[in-house]
Amino acid sequence: MLTRTAMAAWLLLSALSGARAAAQSPCCDPWTDLGQSLAGAAGAPYLEATGSLADGTQVTLSLEEAAPSAPAWFVAGLTSLDAAFKGGVLVPALDVLVPLVTDAAGRLSLVGSWPLGLPTGTTLFTQCWVQDAGGPAGFAASNAQLGTTPPAPPAGQFPADWIYGGNCAGEPQLQVQPYDTNTWILRQSKCTNFEGPFVFLLFGQDKALLLDTGAGNIDIDGTVTAVIGEWLAAHGKSSIPLVVAHTHAHGDHVAGDPQFTGKPNTTVVGHSTQEVTDFFGFQDWPNDIVQFDLGGRVLDVVAIPGHQAAHIALYDHETALLLTGDTLYPGFLFISGAVSQGNFAKYQASIQRLVDFIADKPVAWVFGCHVEMKNTPGESYPYGTKNQPLEHDPQLTREHLLELNAAVQAMGSSPHVEVHDDFIIQPSG
Contacting residues toward Zn ion, per CB under 5 A:
250, 252, 326
In the complex with Zn ion, the residue whose CB is nearer, 221 or 326, is 326
CA distance 254 to 269: 10
In the complex with Zn ion, the residue whose CB is nearer, 224 or 254, is 254
**Shortest spacing between CB 308 and Zn ion, in angstroms:** 5
Answer positive or negative: Cα dihedral of 359, 361, 364, 369: negative
**Shortest spacing between CB 42 and Zn ion, in angstroms:** 57
In the complex with Zn ion, the residue whose CB is nearer, 26 or 368, is 368
CA distance 292 to 300: 6
**Shortest spacing between CB 325 and Zn ion, in angstroms:** 7
In the complex with Zn ion, the residue whose CB is nearer, 300 or 372, is 372
In the complex with Zn ion, the residue whose CB is nearer, 207 or 250, is 250
Q: What is the DSSP letter of 380?
A: B
**Shortest spacing between CB 259 and Zn ion, in angstroms:** 18
**Shortest spacing between CB 311 and Zn ion, in angstroms:** 8
Angle, alpha carbons 185-408-286 (nearest 5°)? 65
Q: Is 58 left (phi over 0), alpha (psi -120 to 50) or beta?
A: beta
In the complex with Zn ion, the residue whose CB is nearer, 132 or 422, is 422
**For residue 352, how far is the Cα from the chain centroid?**
13
CA distance 155 to 422: 22
Q: Cα-atom radius of gyration of the chain, to the nearest Å?
A: 26
**Shortest spacing between CB 409 and Zn ion, in angstroms:** 22
8 Å CB contact between 373 and 392: yes
Helix residue ranges, H only, 281-377? 343-358
